[in-house]
Structure 1
């Protein structure tokens, strides 16, 4: 079973538009609302694959009530912590050519007591004697809401490890770098987040490998790095692997990285087979509308290529030319 932690969840409303014309009154062809936030998306992908998952998250206001109801409809148990502020609502505008415009709300500001309650809720799910305490992985994902210091994730990693569980972390910026000393078992940056962490551009696959190795030197057990259309890297004690898969049409990339992490963890969270599952889930997700998570029938595992012969000199299709000076 996989427990997810989403400190800043959301309701994600997606509108599909024929074109985005600024200043005009636009009519959506279709629209949908999904439970959102990176950890929530991981839980949705795990549930879609038929596995058990629990989502730990703060819930506030009528938006939080709707989020909990939607999670239940997806077969996910919501381990909600009630907070005073309202759960945020994000909006995505999807155009036929795959262009996606997103407006993400800030979300509520959590008090110190609410932040501690969230940590305690995770501890209870991992090692508090609850029937779901046999978690295979804890996946902690997304940005931190206002009121939580960057070190909050590091505290969470420490508590999870003390409870005897493994933890995967998908965040960025100061929250990522502050967590590394606590030694998360897996971190999952995309190329931009990886460049930000090391403070330099990434122009080739080899650049990404070097950056991932540096992040491991700082404490991460393994790095699962998404390189967008180019594929994914897995860098760990056991070696370095590169995987990719063809994608016919990109419909929406919302939640694709989260689906990828879900596939990786559901396949064991280590080694090339888990990397292949990650790429299969990510490739399937980008071909679905909004933040719909893939089911097993959407996957094409036979189309995934995994190799230890990493193409280090291959230029990235979308190179990251600035690391934003965030190196440790």
Structure 2
């Protein structure tokens, strides 16, 4: 079982538009609503692959009730903590050429009591979990140290923990030695305080994060591929070039594939790349199912292309 933690979940509404014109009345060609937030997306991908998952998250207002119903429809148990205010609604506008415009709401403030309740929900469920995946930004009311405490409690419960966050929250959690951290190229550069131009730069940055406490680093490098720094080994994976319909949630799908495949080694990296490749071809934040995952088209090597440039806008 994989437990996910999403401290700032959302309802994700996606509208596909013929074009985006400021000040105009626009009519969507297609629209959808998905349960959202990075940890929720991981749970959705895990459930789509046929594995059991529990989503721990704050829920507020009618939007929170709808989010819980949508999770149930996906076969995901929602371990919700009631909060004041309403769960946020995020909007994504998709143009025909794949350009995305996103509007993300702030979300409700989390009280000290709700913050402790979330930690306790995780502690209870972590004892029976293969992995705890903690993902996303922290909402108002939660300090950066909250993620560090969550990592510590998960470890005390005997669970391995994967962390996908950035900034001060990542820096705080590294001191508790998370089993996996999953930055993208931009977050990796922020964490080490310098720009990254090549895969070789990313390798050095990943090793720096390992030196600061991360046991494994799984880095999404956009179109350049994915990097896994695991113990004394460094692996690099890349998939086929595919048309991108939406990259919302693709990194979350990658983390789900990695954890569901065991969370270590080249086979898990291949699963991560395959899940991410499948996700970008789907609308909105839809997660791929088993029939859309093709690890045979993924290349994994222990000889990363160190001189390969990183894209300017990492996914």
Residue in structure 2 matched with residue 83 of structure 1 by the alignment: 83
Shift of 1:23: 1.2
Please tell me whether residue 70 in structure 1 is matched to residue 70 in structure 2.
Answer: yes
Shift of 1:233: 0.1
Question: Quick one: which of 267, 275, 278 aligns to 1:281?
Answer: 275
After superposition, what is the alpha-carbon deviation per residue over 1:35-73, rounded to whole angstroms, capped at 9, x for unaligned? 000000000000000110000000000000000000000
- C-alpha distance in 2 between matches for 1:301 and 1:271: 14
Shift of 1:317: 2.8
Shift of 1:316: 1.4
Residue in structure 2 matched with residue 42 of structure 1 by the alignment: 42
1:241-252 aligned at under 5 Å gives the runs: 241-252=235-246
After superposition, what is the alpha-carbon deviation per residue over 1:280-324, rounded to whole angstroms, capped at 9, x for unaligned? 00000000000000001111211100000111111113278xxxx
- C-alpha distance in 2 between matches for 1:316 and 1:58: 36
Match of 1:50, SS state, is coil
Residue in structure 1 matched with residue 155 of structure 2 by the alignment: 161
Please tell me whether residue 265 in structure 1 is matched to residue 244 in structure 2.
Answer: no
- C-alpha distance in 2 between matches for 1:179 and 1:67: 28
Residue in structure 1 matched with residue 201 of structure 2 by the alignment: 207
- C-alpha distance in 1 between matches for 2:23 and 2:172: 41
Match of 1:219, SS state, is coil
2:224/2:309 contact within 8 Å kept: no
- C-alpha distance in 2 between matches for 1:184 and 1:300: 29
Q: TM-score, normalised by structure 1?
A: 0.95
- C-alpha distance in 1 between matches for 2:309 and 2:90: 33
2:6/2:38 contact within 8 Å kept: yes
Match of 1:120, SS state, is helix
Please tell me whether residue 312 in structure 1 is matched to residue 306 in structure 2.
Answer: yes
Please tell me whether residue 33 in structure 1 is matched to residue 36 in structure 2.
Answer: no
RMSD value over aligned CA atoms? 0.9
Q: Which runs of 4+ in 1 moved over 4 A?
A: none
1:46-195 aligned at under 5 Å gives the runs: 46-127=46-127, 134-195=128-189
Shift of 1:238: 4.0
Match of 1:212, SS state, is helix
After superposition, what is the alpha-carbon deviation per residue over 1:249-299, rounded to whole angstroms, capped at 9, x for unaligned? 000000000000000000000000000000000000000000000001111
2:242/2:277 contact within 8 Å kept: no
